[in-house]
Amino acid sequence: MSLTLGPALLFCPADRPERFAGALQKADAVILDLEDAVLPAGKAAARENIIDADLDPARVIVRVNAPDSAEFGKDLEALARTPFRTVMVAKSEDPSALDVFGSEYALVALCETALGVHRAGDIAAHHRTVALMWGAEDLVASLRGMSSRFADGRYRDVARQARAQVLLAAGAHGRAAIDAVHLDIDDLDGLAAEAADAVASGFSATACIHPKQVAVIRDAYRPDPASVEWARAVLVAAEGERGVFRYEGRMIDEPVLRHARAIVSRG
């Protein structure tokens, strides 16, 4: 299995069923959240909402609670009564905890604690894992820190390292990587910059928490026409070449051609 849902993945609290259809309409995929977005008293009703949801399963991810939580088993029981089989596992830390999922499930492992980031490679290697995502706030909380960002909005070094580590672990095992949410909903310029860096670095998608963030993410992941034109032209030029060649004054080798193919695939 692979994860090819599009670049903008929108979280939606599972205790707000009236928002489900609208969220899916606005984004490339919706993440129905049974974890942090739902208070403990509302989790049972949230599970029923997911059971009753009439949504395209191919564009739905369900975030379940952490495997070591009391809610995890209940989440799995509810999932079994739905057609949804792409599951985001919150606070993934132990690859063996993913063994409970059958072959019909595709897992997005959320590495958002110090231990989860430390074990990201082993989690990515699990045969049910199709993608990794990282999370900044839970990560810093697991370190007993207070903030993942500086006052100007930039990530602190520990968050940047975790982001890179999860991306590298995903890439090493051929999994997709999903960038973390930008919590400042009104900071669209900051989101645009982070999303542009995400796609340039190799992330497949960026998660978001508000519909107005969707267009910003899509714009960042969509290459400009000039880049697409160059990529197509250099790939055509490569058909008549053997090995390294020169194109418009630039040396072209296989890594550059892979970059060009990636641009065309998103164009």
| Per-residue pLDDT at 260 | 86
Question: How do residues 177-190 score in pLDDT, each as one tens digit?
Answer: 999 999 999 999 99
Is 30 a residue whose pLDDT tops 60? Answer: yes
pLDDT band at 2 (very low <50, low <70, confident <90, very high): low
Rounded average pLDDT over 92-120: 97
Instruction: Choose among 94, 45, 95: nearest CA to 71.
Output: 45
What the block records as the tokens of 109 is 């492992």
- Cβ-proximal residues to 264 (8 Å cutoff; 6+ apart), any chain: 228, 231, 232, 235
| Per-residue pLDDT at 226 | 82
Contact 140, 158 (CB under 8 A): yes
Is 267 a residue whose pLDDT tops 70? Answer: no
- Cα–Cα separations (whole angstroms), residue 124 to 68, 86, 150, 166, 248: 19, 15, 30, 9, 39
Residue 72 has a CB neighbour count (10 Å cut-off) of 19
Rounded average pLDDT over 117-137: 97
Instruction: Choose among 193, 175, 176: nearest CA to 184.
Output: 193
Q: Is the pTM of this model over 0.75?
A: yes
Rounded average pLDDT over 252-265: 85
Contact 131, 176 (CB under 8 A): yes
Judged by average pLDDT, the poorest of 115-124, 147-156, 181-190, 232-241 is 232-241
- Cβ burial, residue 176 (10 Å; 0-12/13-18/19+): buried
Q: How many residues does the chain have?
A: 267
Report the distance separating Cα 11 and Cα 34, nearest Å. 10
Is 147 a residue whose pLDDT tops 70? Answer: yes
- Which residues are paired to 205 by β-bridges? 178
Question: How do residues 223-248 score in pLDDT, each as one tens digit?
Answer: 888 888 888 988 888 887 778 888 88
Is 71 a residue whose pLDDT tops 60? Answer: yes
| Per-residue pLDDT at 255 | 86
